[in-house]
A and B are shown apart, each in its own frame.
Chain A
């Protein structure tokens, strides 16, 4: 166990140092850096598995750091997250072998390789950290390494701006964490995480609440939940795609890790509003994240917004778990937590896959703008197929992995009727609605993402001349696609270790049964057999095309132009654009987007009957970015005004007052 950890770290440091040492020989340094990362990630994977099967590890190096020194340890939760990180890092490193080639000469591959190794190593060590100082140190190291990776293309000013926002946000989060840890340390009088669980239970409510809020803010900003998400859609697309994959697929999960630790380990069960808050935040993040993704036409930023959405789904599971725990239903709490963690792993897999797909497209077409893509399924068929797998998985469609974890989340939320507190029930009901809306919108969004990007005719020269990417990148994606399928059709592989993990964490045995072919939630409340669904799909898909042959149907095919009402030419200009595709949503949710529509028509100087150009803008505004506080101000002013007009001689005015007063009284009296 220990030597495994040491080997892993050795690989990473070798990769990091080697990349710097071989800086002059660009390709060599590229190879060394990424190979080191690959080997290290493999080692980490083994380490995580060893931890999951119950391997244990305590490592204290007192004099490596001041106060407390370095303390590392492996328990099941840490091990699980190590596996998640490795699951993202292995293919990322493999992918980077090919992907970083185009950076050769433009940017320093040595620095990139160094930062890449440090980044992965830091992430792995963070989840192993066992005392405050170690944790904060590694957390900062991780943030800085990722910051440098984001700044790779530092010559582009949007990258610089993104990096700046990222830097500020991540350090605001760090400050919150620092404060929270400080308070907790002072209150409990110890810096070792191990002793917190017992000590924190005896704290007075106010300081516990304060600590919870601070830590939740800190970890939430790393996880990128709304409204702390502003850095995410900026920073992730700016980074090189294999790094985007790591950040979006893995790094933000450390926020989830933190919140899980806080809620179930360090602070223990808290008041109901903790869980309620997490659940509501999750619901909001899920819905708004996917809504923003829908109107986004920059492929990588679209994926980044989907990370916000999926974090929201995970938070639904966590928050549900916390609420169940407060209402003394350990079984359901465990179930919800299992669902959340399962989705954490799944999201790491399919989001990395999708970001790598986006990277491959960027590599091939040199654009991130979906409006310039199209027809790529014919030019890069394998990438297209792999991206499709990722799309189906993230849209939570059976039989892939997104489906099973979202299904579990649904089960745990629906089972909330066992709690007998109306307010909690309503919160859960809204959670159900939010999750449902999210999954529907996610499906819609990936119809757009895949359809506009890969189908029909290419919308630009660069897309028309796209070529399939090299084999390392495809291999990395294939690996992840395979994982999507396996995690989807064979849930026991994940559920068994997760059950143990959650049991270790909070002592509740998840309220479910599963065997090789079926998962059953709460003795027959709901069940699903993804393997059988998959087999059924395959069987029918084989059988149905044969049927017409048997009954002797006409099998003649003729290829002819797309029907355009007899129109002579058929070009990409006739295709539906991403903007047009998203427009219904823009109109339905106009309240959120506040779209500003402009239409400039330039007429021919001779006659207005001849139009030269028509320019149509339909930009949505991001309320959180540019006006989080403005509505507040507006509200205050409005209130002032209202106060003045209180005395309108208006019958309804008075009736309204009566009604409001009545309702208020009722609420107060009860």
Chain B
């Protein structure tokens, strides 16, 4: 335990800083999201992630949003366990036949106002799985999608951009 404390003490805050001027993409995103989010949902966005049949590549990138480097929490966003608590559905993967109905139910279980962000090429146009016998179609075939994040898999910053876009579309 003593050693752990020592370690914590040594480790600095590794989160990408929001220095004004420094034109890192993340910083731009962050500022936008601040505005967009503030307008839309009072600077608080709770996200429920739904895997509609993805290869988990996107999940890895989404998971990265939680790490100290990207630190999604600082924008007042975080992932929640129940759609009842969520404002935003983050859907990945081509929608498979088994997941089509649960996806719809998840959407209905989410209280309005809510936004849907389709993450990854599969979510956009079923990617390499297009036409597969188990695939119903892209997310847009099931739910009204507010924003699409391209990429296979998309970078965390891209996902942030997507959420921002969705927010602004609604705002």
* Residues of chain A whose beta carbon lies under 8 Å from any beta carbon of chain B: 556, 558, 560-561, 563, 565-568
Contacts and interface: CB of A to CB of B under 8 A. Distances in A.
Interface in B94-117: 99, 101-103, 105-106, 108-109, 111-112
B102 A563 contact: no
Contacts of A558: 111-112
A568 B111 CA distance: 19
A563 B103 contact: no
Chain A CB count within 10 A is highest, among B101, B102, B106, B109, for: B109
B106 A566 contact: yes
A561 B105 contact: yes
Contacts of A565: 102
A563 B111 CA distance: 12
Nearest to B102: A566
B84 A563 contact: yes
B15 interface: no
Given A558-B111, A560-B108, A560-B109, A568 B83 contact: no
A560 B108 CA distance: 8
A566 B111 contact: no
B101 A568 contact: yes
A568 B99 CA distance: 11
Given A558-B111, A560-B109, A566 B103 contact: yes
A566 B82 contact: no
A563 B101 contact: no
A534 B93 CA distance: 55
Interface of B: 82-84, 99, 101-103, 105-106, 108-109, 111-112
B40 to A, nearest CB: 14
22 contacts: A556-B112, A558-B111, A558-B112, A560-B108, A561-B105, A561-B109, A563-B82, A563-B83, A563-B84, A563-B109, A565-B102, A566-B99, A566-B101, A566-B102, A566-B103, A566-B105, A566-B106, A566-B109, A567-B102, A567-B105, A568-B101, A568-B105
A665 B83 CA distance: 67
B86 to A, nearest CB: 11
Task: Tell me whether chain A's interface is mostly helix, strand or loop, or mixed.
Answer: loop
Nearest to A565: B102
B98 to A, nearest CB: 10
B29 to A, nearest CB: 29
Nearest to A564: B105
Nearest to A562: B109
A371 to B, nearest CB: 27
A565 B49 CA distance: 12
A555 to B, nearest CB: 12
Contacts of A560: 108-109
B170 to A, nearest CB: 16
Chain B CB count within 10 A is highest, among A561, A563, A565, A566, for: A566
A566 B96 CA distance: 14
B16 to A, nearest CB: 34
Chain A CB count within 10 A is highest, among B83, B99, B105, B108, for: B105
A198 B94 CA distance: 92
A561 B101 CA distance: 14
Chain B CB count within 10 A is highest, among A556, A561, A565, for: A565
A556 B111 CA distance: 10
A558 B83 CA distance: 14
A552 to B, nearest CB: 14
Contacts of B103: 566
A567 B103 CA distance: 10
Contacts of B102: 565-568
A558 B108 CA distance: 10
A190 to B, nearest CB: 73
Nearest to A563: B109
Contacts of A566: 99, 101-103, 105-106, 109
A566 B91 CA distance: 14
B108 to A, nearest CB: 6
A242 to B, nearest CB: 44
A563 B105 CA distance: 9
A563 B83 CA distance: 8
Contacts of B112: 556, 558
A565 B48 CA distance: 12
A463 B114 CA distance: 38
A563 B102 CA distance: 10
A125 B11 CA distance: 80
